[in-house]
Chains A and B, each alone.
Chain A
Amino acid sequence: QVQLVQSGAEVKKPGASVKVFCKASGYTFTRYYMHWVRQAPGQGLEWMGTMNPSGGGTSYAQKFQGRITMTRDTSTSTVYMELSSLRSEDTAVYYCARVAGILGTEYYFGYWGQGTLVTVSS
């Protein structure tokens, strides 16, 4: 069965960077796009970007351009999301989410990681 297991909670100071991982299992890693979504405390869902694990291509939300980097390690079926220049407003739960299928009509998020809480505080 498809599983997405994320790294544990992080506490960072303003200006620092954080790197969260999402380890996938139960399917062919390179076949399905992976996305990152975050949720600030008590707030809604915010799309951050996506990666094609096959070629490594990425697309980021404009809001995060210049601060976000998504990478992957195909040998361990793991995707990484690094966010730099952290500020208090980046305090949130960060989720990885895999699309349901390989067609455009299947690009809804069928599988989610458990979430990683990142707290930015001085």
Chain B
Amino acid sequence: EIVLTQSPGTLSLSPGERATLSCRASQSVSTNYFAWYQQKPGQAPRLLIYGTSNRATGIPDRFSGSGSGTDFTLTISRLESEDFVVYYCQQYGNSPWTFGQGTKVEIK
């Protein structure tokens, strides 16, 4: 099983700042099989990024993904108020599909 470890657990930033979220895999993941999700309180997760760097439909361009091998990054270039929620990474190249434990982005 590929274990995904997200850091930090909580990120405290101000609106307008840049957020960098990390996800490290216990073994190499193909860039074709890596995604990020956003989850707002009381809602189902929403797909943000797939294939490491492809934004899903309707996702603003302030969200970007990068990485390869075992290290992946989600960057939010300028935080807006609705971005202060929880983010999960996921690999879908090997069963079992696995998620990171989440990073909460909170207002500083």
Report A's interface with B, CB cutoff 8 A.
35, 37, 44-47, 50, 59, 61-62, 95, 100, 104-110, 112-115
When distances are taken between beta carbons in the complex, the residues of chain A under 8 Å from B101 are: 44
Within 8 A of A (CB), among B91-105: 92-93, 95-102
Q: B99 contacts which of A46, A112, A114 (Cβ < 8 Å)?
A: A46
In the complex the two chains form, is B102's CB within 8 Å of A110's CB?
no
Q: A37-B99, A106-B50, A112-B44 are in contact. List 14 more A-B contacts (CB 8 A).
A: A45-B37, A45-B99, A50-B95, A95-B44, A95-B45, A107-B97, A108-B33, A108-B51, A109-B35, A109-B45, A110-B47, A110-B56, A112-B45, A112-B46
Compute how far the CA of A62 lies from the CA of B1 in the bound complex, rounded to whole angstroms: 10
17 inter-chain pairs at a CB distance below 8 angstroms, sorted by A residue, are A44-B100, A44-B101, A45-B88, A50-B97, A59-B95, A62-B96, A95-B45, A100-B47, A104-B93, A105-B32, A108-B33, A109-B35, A109-B47, A109-B90, A112-B45, A112-B46, A115-B44
Within 8 A of A (CB), among B64-108: 88, 90, 92-93, 95-102
Q: Which residue of B lies closest to A60 (CB)?
A: B96
Report B's interface with A, CB cutoff 8 A.
32-33, 35, 37, 39, 44-47, 50-51, 56, 88, 90, 92-93, 95-102
Compute how far the CA of A107 lies from the CA of B96 in the bound complex, rounded to whole angstroms: 12
Q: Report the minimum CB–CB distance from A51 to chain B (whole Å).
A: 13
In the complex the two chains form, is A113's CB within 8 Å of B44's CB?
yes
Q: Which residue of A lies closest to B32 (CB)?
A: A105
When distances are taken between beta carbons in the complex, the residues of chain B under 8 Å from A104 are: 32-33, 93
Q: Report the minimum CB–CB distance from A61 to chain B (whole Å).
A: 5
Compute how far the CA of A62 lies from the CA of B100 in the bound complex, rounded to whole angstroms: 18
